[in-house]
Structure 1
Amino acid sequence: MNRNTLPALVLALSGLLCGCGSAQDPRSSPAAEQPFWQAEFDGAAAARPSEEYWNTETGNRDAEGWGNDELQYYTDDAANSGLDGAGHLLISARPAAAGSRLPCYTQEFCTWTSARLTTEGKVSLAHGRVEVRAKLPTGTGLLPAIWMLGDNGAEWPAQGEIDICEVVGGEPRTVYGTAHGPTYFNENGIGGSLTLPADASQTFHTYAVDKQPRRITWSVDGKPYFTLTPSKLPAPRDWVFEQDMHLLLNVAVGGDWPGPPDASTPSPARMTVDYVRFYGRGHA
């Protein structure tokens, strides 16, 4: 995520949730399966997420607008990433305060603030399933994302990236799941999409990826909609996903894919995360 434009090779597997049950079900594990790590976000309102598990990345200019000419400046303020006191994490994009003068890559100062949280160096998944139950903000110029990056130490895109879900700009009912690697990245990312029955901001959904040896399956609410194997990659089929990968949560504003915000863009625009759960094998 956040280096993507609309993937040109997205396979057209869109459909209503009720019509996507024919693919392999990623919930093949026993019903009694327990996560090896989870974040439930219990705590007082405005408390920051636990630093034991979460890093907060900040800035904009040095990262070339986070690779996408984005307009938000990521902060470590509770106003941009904090608990709501009711068991949720809120990642909030909001207009920057007047006179804040936050340096921006695409213009002199960033006009929005937001947050980008990662588990890099703290929690990772080798093989198994990631589930994130969340409501995602929708509206012009917004790009909320739940995604993963590889821990192999390589420079992106050789690092490997799995976008568990993205909802872009004016497509409030479309969920994109995409993989990026050394020879398939940005507009050449490979993935699929699914149409929700209502805007992603209206209700919680469980967005998940089942990451198994030489197979990755994307699902929403337990309904698979796309599976990637090495055979679907372009030559030389450079599969980079047999490694530990960490999680990222963020809400981007503006940039190459969603375009700029306008007067209709919600403010604040909130990603509300109910829980994160890792099943299988990894590190925590």
Structure 2
Amino acid sequence: MKLILYFLLAIIAACGGNKNEESDFVYTNGEKEKVLPTELSLSVEVKGVDSKNPHGDGSGAVQLSAVAKNAIKYGYKFNDKSEEVSTDGTFTYTFKEEGTHDYKITVLAYSSTGDYIDISKTITVFVAQHEVELIWSDEFELDGALSAQNWKMETIAPDNGSWHNGELQHYTNRLDNVYVSEGTLKIVAKKDQYTAQGTTKEYTSARLNSLFSFTYGKIEVRAKLPYGQGTWPAIWMLGSNIETVGWPACGEIDIMEHWGHEPEKISSATHTPSCYGGCTDVTVGTTTITDYSTEFHVYAVEWTKESLRFFIDDEFVYAYNPVAKNKDTWPFTADQFIILNVAMGGSWFTVDPDFVSSTMEVDYVRVYQ
């Protein structure tokens, strides 16, 4: 009898141990069935997203959180690459590819049986350029004439003695209009009757083209803008191939434009064959700055293979990133040079009749890659 009792106890113990080991399995007619997680959800937070940085602060970091019933662990895949495991559903990941890109994130929720369900989301993340190096600059430290090694002063108007847009000035290379003193470049627009190319204008100023050109990088210009109705200062870029392909096929990048008749409005824009001179349903970056003519501000653009991102004092203001990139929408694949100028008047605004002179001061121009 004792032997029979021990045998029965052994069977009961064995059955009890088997139940504990496979308690999550469901048995139907003696066959083991799958247990699948349910109600899987995924939340994604891109670091630094706000109204001015819709795709993040440039760090590339994202915080992920997944929840599902009957899940004991989670797996994450990024663009269908190798799986990363998380036991509690949370995971931090950092994208590395510079520029603005779309990424597919897939999360898999696993049950204790090893079976899973999955969902995917596509997000857009911006990664800023890293380990940048200053490759060119002008700090304007030597008083007197502008550096002939860095700049060419453009004085010949392309349109029969006149500049485009109905501008009212002649550009000169005179020290009256452009010089360096006390650590800054001065471009002086002034009421000054002047004759050139057989045409007399009532105003003079200066337009400077950099002799340095580059493809991709970041340019920063620290400047204080002129004041007065009719002034039109600009910090901008044109494709170095403009002589062969013309405008707008060469591409134009307007880092900063300001019009004296709209004194607190700063604009950033692009011009391409697909959109130039103002287009329907195409936005530009506009920012309000009240002390534009009394304080220096840093105007910048980050130019990558994928996008142009504009900043004022490190604050994001505008991005140009067309979905379809071709020669009409994205001519920004070749060298561009930098232009600094102050125009006077235009076809859609006038100059204050009491205007005498006003100056754009530039502390530095820097290019990083």
TM > 0.5 fold call? yes
Query: Which residue of the partner structure matches residue 127 of structure 1?
Result: 216
From 209, 212, 219, give the equivalent of 1:118: 209
Matches within 5 A, 1:1-284: 20=52, 24-25=56-57, 28-30=128-130, 33-44=132-143, 47-60=144-157, 62=159, 65-84=162-181, 86-97=182-193, 100-102=194-196, 109-119=200-210, 122-152=211-241, 153-188=244-279, 190-231=282-323, 238-257=329-348, 259-265=349-355, 267-280=356-369
| Structure of larger gyration radius | 2
User: 2:272–2:328: 8 Å Cα contact kept in structure 1?
Assistant: no
| Cα separation, partners in 2 of 1:61 and 1:261, compared to 1, 3 Å | farther
Q: Secondary structure at the match of 1:203?
A: coil
Residues 25 and 224 in structure 1, CA contact (< 8 A), matched pair in contact too:
no
SS at match of 1:157: coil
In structure 2, runs of 5+ residues without a counterpart are 1-49, 59-126
Whether the aligned pair in 2 keeps the contact of 1:207 and 1:220 (CA below 8 Å) is yes
Pick closer, same or farther for the CA change 1:59–1:96 going to 2, 3 Å: farther
Give the AA of the match of 2:365.
Answer: V
- Deviation, structure 1 residue 51: 0.7
How far 1:25 moved relative to its partner? 4.7
Any conservation in 2 of the 1:90–1:270 contact (CA below 8 Å)?
yes
More strand by share: 2
- Amino acid paired to 1:76: N
Residues 240 and 224 (structure 1), Cα distance of their counterparts in 2 relative to 1, 3 Å cut: same
Q: Distance in 1 between matches of 2:335 and 2:155?
A: 24
Measure the CA separation in 2 of the matches of 1:232 and 1:225. Answer: 22
CA contact (8 A) 2:267 2:287 kept: no
Q: Provide the C-alpha distance between the structure 2 equivalents of 1:209 and 1:172, rounded to a whole number of angstroms.
A: 22
Query: Larger RCO: Structure 1 or Structure 2 (Cα < 8 Å, ≥ 6 residues apart)?
Result: 1
Indicate the SS of the match to 1:77. Answer: coil
* Number of equivalenced pairs: 249
Matched residue of 1:68: which SS?
Answer: helix
For structure 1, the 5+ residue unaligned runs are: 1-17
CA RMSD across the alignment: 2.6
**Aligned-residue identity in percent:** 35
